[in-house]
Amino acid sequence: MSAPCKELVTLLSEYAMVCRGCLAASGEMKNMFECGLHKEFAKYTDVQIRRDDGISELICSVCEESLVICKNFRSQCQQSDLLLRNSLMMFRKNSLKNPYKV
Ligand SMILES: [Zn+2]
């Protein structure tokens, strides 16, 4: 194998071993397909992870924590929105029942 080709193989194998979120090459890593995080990763990042593309399927613990924070923030926003919409609907309903009550 020629040197440039060997370097390319080394580079590609390194790409398969880095975190997809931050490109960290060391530390605690999880395979997103094995731990079921690939769908959430795609959902919150708009980055598609495929099993057969030769690119890393790994996520580091820091990025996994960021993913959980995104998920929790989304959930919190949805719950707040639901609460606000329900409150507004109740307020409007009560206003219709008692149009002159302040
Ligand atoms: Zn990371």
CB-CB contact of 63 with 22 (8 Å):
yes
CA 15 / ligand 1 centre spacing (Å): 13
Q: Does the pLDDT of residue 8 top 90, yes or no?
A: no
Contact (CB, 8 A) for 43 and 74: no
pLDDT, tens only, 70-89? 999 999 999 999 999 999 99
Q: What does the pLDDT look like over 19-50, one tens digit per residue?
A: 999 999 999 999 999 999 999 999 999 999 99
pLDDT at 56: 93
The upper half-sphere exposure of residue 73, i.e. CA atoms within 13 Å in the direction of its Cβ, equals: 7
Q: How far is the CA of 66 from the centre of ligand 1 (A)?
A: 9
* pTM of the shown model: 0.75
- CA 18 – ligand 1 centroid, Å: 8
